[in-house]
Amino acid sequence: MTEPGAGSDLRGMKASAKQDGSDWILNGTKHFISHADIADFTIAFMATGEEDTPRGKKKLITAFFVDKGTPGYAVRDGYRNVSHRGYTNAILEFDNCRIPAENVLGEVHKGFEVANTWLGATRLQVGATCLGRADRAFRHSVEWAATREQFGQPIGKFQGVSFKLADMAMEMKAAELMILEAGWKFDRGEASDADMAMAKLKATEMLAMVADEAIQIHGGMGLMDELPLERIWRDARIERIWEGTSEIQRHIISRALLRPFGA
């Protein structure tokens, strides 16, 4: 989905597909596409039309299955990442890339419906991985607070440290319960977009807080690569951006609250 000029705002999508007989011709650029350099295919979302809405024109999006090696489809190296250094992203270029109509996923102009079949699950997955990394940072912090001595006693004796641990534990438990509830609803087919948004938002922002406090508790040692904390801290930053930014999650939640009142 993501393009240089269209991330959270898909109205700005420039990549497009036009029908030509029984084929579709794709043109445009995508970027930040995860592991496209090693993938055998990509699912590309393209603008295929517009419709009028009370808020103005809205892009109609269609999903297409594009095989690696298709003429007119090229994968270029993307950007180096501060978070998740083992993660690769790529730039996809479509230059009069012709594919058959059978490569349309779902229905024409119904690309959002296709994306929604997995977006909720991936947001839940992001939240769950945040729980695991927060737990690791927290365990290091508790052990450090109990064994590291300053001023003749373990630093955990000081409220400046012990209260951080209490807040970290509370935020982790709250995020865990939200993830479990969202997962339970998802398994039952009852999860709403807002359920997934709340779980993702809480867990990602919790990890940012826990990782930062873990480094603070460890002092200078927390930033050394002898410990995993600096990596957890770096990796935490992207979680509030991909699979929907924190701002988009808040938008989803607030719209779900206000929509029944017509607001």
Catalytic residues: 243
**Bridging pattern class, strands 104-105 and 73-77:** unpaired
**Bridging pattern class, strands 73-77 and 153-154:** unpaired
**Bridging pattern class, strands 56-67 and 153-154:** unpaired
Whole-number Cα distances in Å, 3 to 29, 31, 211, 232: 6, 5, 30, 27
- Rounded Cα distance between 72 and 157, Å, is 64
Contacts of 37 (CB under 8 A, 6+ apart): 75, 77, 88, 90
Whole-number Cα distances in Å, 36 to 31, 33, 74, 87, 144: 10, 6, 10, 11, 40
